[in-house]
Each structure stands twice: as structure tokens, then as C-alpha cells.
Amino acid sequence: MTMTNPNDDMLDDLFAQARAQPPGSPSDDLIARVLADAAGVQPAPSAHVISQPGLWSRIMDTIGGWPALGGLAAATVAGIWVGVAPPTPVSDLTAHLMGDVVTVDLFSATLLLDTEALGDG
């Protein structure tokens, strides 16, 4: 004894009716209503003019943004630091390559003011 589900039979009948009708295009009235609804949802055209990015923005894009600019700033500070107060191996290498030892002392004791020139008498 086989049992059939009446809902399945009804569903099979609906599918058979759908297969029997030839596929057609939607009516012109439906198309007009869909297009009217779509036109109502569309945003209004704006009159905003998109300006070109400024010079600083283009430079930042070329460099690579803020992270790259931070790296360049750190390298610049390190380069100035090594240039002003070079470590001993750098000074020795420079002296060896140039042949002469050149020392520039930025904080020399000879630059101190003469105490007699400031006196009152």
C-alpha cells in the first residue's frame, strides 16, 4: 500500500499547468510600472564638480602615504645625527679613505666668551 501526499499531488498539478502555458514576455503595462518605479528611486543628478587633488595629495600618493613619509622622516633624522656626531668607526673609515684626519668640534671650549670682555672695568 502506497500513500501519497495530497500536497504533492496538488503541487504536481500546479507544475503541469505552468508547463502547459507558453512562456511569454511581461506586459507593456508591467514594464511601464517597473520603469516608473525605478525612475522614482534614482538619485537626482548632482552639479558637484570633482576637483583634482592638490599638490600635497599627489606627492603623498607618489611617496606612498603617511607610513612612507614617517620612514623618510626617521631616515632624515638619523642621517643628520650621523652627520653631526659620527660614530668612531665612521670617522676612522673616513680618515682612512681621505688620508687626513679632519675634526670639527661644534662645542669647542675656544668658542666660550672671554670673561674679561664682559667685565665692567
Domain positions in the chain: 55-111
Whole-number pLDDT of residue 2: 57
Whole-number pLDDT of residue 3: 60
Whole-number pLDDT of residue 68: 93
What secondary structure, in 3-state letters, does the chain show? Answer: CCCCCHHHHHHHHHHHHHHHCCCCCCCHHHHHHHHHHHHHHCCCCCCCCCCCCCHHHHHHHHHCCHHHHHHHHHHHHHHHHHHHCCCHHHHHHHHHHHCCCCCCCCCCHHHCCCCCCCCCC
Task: Provide the grid cell at 84.
Answer: 653631526
Whole-number pLDDT of residue 120: 54
pLDDT tens digits in sequence order for the chain, 121 residues long? 456 677 788 888 889 998 888 878 888 999 999 999 999 888 877 777 778 888 988 988 898 999 999 999 999 999 998 888 878 787 777 777 777 666 666 666 655 555 555 555 4
Task: Provide the grid cell at 71.
Answer: 620612514
Whole-number pLDDT of residue 1: 46
